[in-house]
Structure 1
Amino acid sequence: MSKAADSEAKQVRSSRQRKPNGRNVSLGDVARGAGVSTATVSRVLNNPEKVAERNRLAVTAAIDSLGYIPDGAARALASRQSRIIGAVVPSLDNALFAAGIQSLQRRLKYHGYTLIVASHEYNLEEELEEVKILLRQGVDALLLVGSEHDQKLVQLIESKAVPYVNCWAYDPDSEQPCIGFDNRKAARKITQYLLDLGHTDFAVIAGRTENNDRAADRLRGITEVIKEHNLSLPEDRIQQTSYSVKKGREAMRMLLKAGKRPTVVLCGNDILALGAIAECQSAGIKVPEEISITGFDDLEMSAQMNPALTTIHVPSAEMGEQAADFLVARIRQEPSMLHTEIMADLMVRETTAKPSD
């Protein structure tokens, strides 16, 4: 074997031996493997969106091939950033939040950040504790859900000068940054659509409004429009409950037992609507021929149900992506809009019709 071939073989063996322990692979090894400078490798690790796609892919391939593991602690010490973003959501058992968080994570990864997610089960004290934990871990920014928080939470975040944003809600008058949609306006839109169909006899299965400004705003939007048309919505026609199919069925059962049957039931989300429809089908009540039912969220299943659900489309994926861009811009002290409204559209499908005579 020639000296050149022998040298090359040793390099290959050395690379293979180092791969299981990526800590032994240096930035220079990655640069040589990718055919770029160490500065380019560093940019890919810290600001990948500023690197040409060809070089970014080459560096990523070299990192995978060599088993390179960046020293996160060293990077954080050098940049005074952990490159970790925290997100605190009300529940992890919710497809709507899952879609938004998935989009957020994907976009943050593109920017070179890692996401940590925590939940508080609609408990504002628990939300505060989760935020404290994330701040102790040194997160660079935070995503929160809604605009209703413990006042201590906002004061704590702002005292630490940590960028944050409220999502899934929109309040242009707030001093807090937000990216979301107007829950009240969206609820008004779907209620007005039902009035235009000719409905006057309403009932509501709402999410619990305590510590949930989104549910409260949706219920407020519904009741406002009904009152504006000089119609009534008695207390026994409003069921507040937890978000589950079972709870949707139970709430619908209560409404059906309450006396005169409403011609339409507005549900606080698609999961509750699914339960309401299931209860009607079990009772032999046809949807929408005998009763119309609406949801809110537009989950993937909603268009595939039989009948397909009339609902409000919540742009969770778009919110997650825009939230990622906003937080990264704030970390870099780049210009960004304090309030961003994303439209929530009415999706008319098969669970609504004109009231039967």
Structure 2
Amino acid sequence: MKYIDLRSDTVTKPSKGMLAAMMKAKTGDDVFGEDPAINELQEKCAKLTGKEKALFVPTGVMGNQLAIKAHTIQGDEVIVESESHILNYETAASSIISNVQLLQLKGENGILDVETVRAHVRSNEYYFPKTRLICLENTHNRAGGVILPIKTIKAISTFAREYGIKMHLDGARIFNAIAETKISLKDYAYNFDTISFCFSKGLGCPIGSILCGDAETIDLAHKWRKILGGGMRQAGILGAAAIYALNNNVKRLKDDNARAKRFAKALADTGNYKIDVENVHTNIVVFCSHKHSKEEFMKLAKKKGLLFSSGSYDLIRAVFHMDLSEADVTKAINVLKNL
């Protein structure tokens, strides 16, 4: 059976154009800083974000954790939203690698407001941990691909700078937000000391993420990348894929977002699913079935040729990506109308 795979945008295969770019890549030893494609990619991403330097890393988790490590000292506190990827899907890495504790604050659909953040920044009493870093996530995975409003980001950033608190953006799917808001990557990145984003999600690469920031922070992250086993040798084939993606796969993300919205509206119209259509901002749709438990639904859907992933709590997640066609989306909708 050929499945329509809605589990994640990480399931895509490299396109013919990307594979051709990978095959032609000039390579060198990146541990020695001699890989031409990786160097070009890092320079390109630094320029796109308006930062001094960038560092290619194998995964988004490593990008986030290197940022936390570079910004903090052990015993510090890091503010995160309660449904964030850093808190929920990174296996407590920040407590293991950086020896910091995460203070989770509940946002509205994943969105923190500046007053909530302000109220939870620690005073300078000796028995409190130091509030050293605030991490935001845009788009917000567990909230269903919600876009953080730029006004909110700017307010938190202004407050953080006033109090000497660092800011990191987990921008794994930032380009999906850009496709909707038309706000540039540089304008988003301006509000943060560091920003990471993934090549292996909507951009369609097989592997890779990037961390961008000032030279001192990225140099420290580079050292910790090596400590954590993230130094790679002839990584240019991956760098070439990422360069191809940035040049060719960004503009088409609006199509993934549009298909997600079409899917969400169609499900809502059936009356058989609980879904907040207004909250579908980008390429992720979270919903639950009025007829079946999450586990039952996913088993029945698989028998019909549809693959979904588990969202938070009782939610089912569908993610739209470049390997799905309009016909695939139509078929998925028709199957779910009768499930």
The TM-score normalised by the length of structure 2 is 0.35
Larger radius of gyration: 1
Q: If each structure's helix is expressed as a fraction of its own residues, which one has the higher value?
A: 1
Between the two structures, name the one with larger relative contact order (CA 8 Å, sep ≥ 6): 2
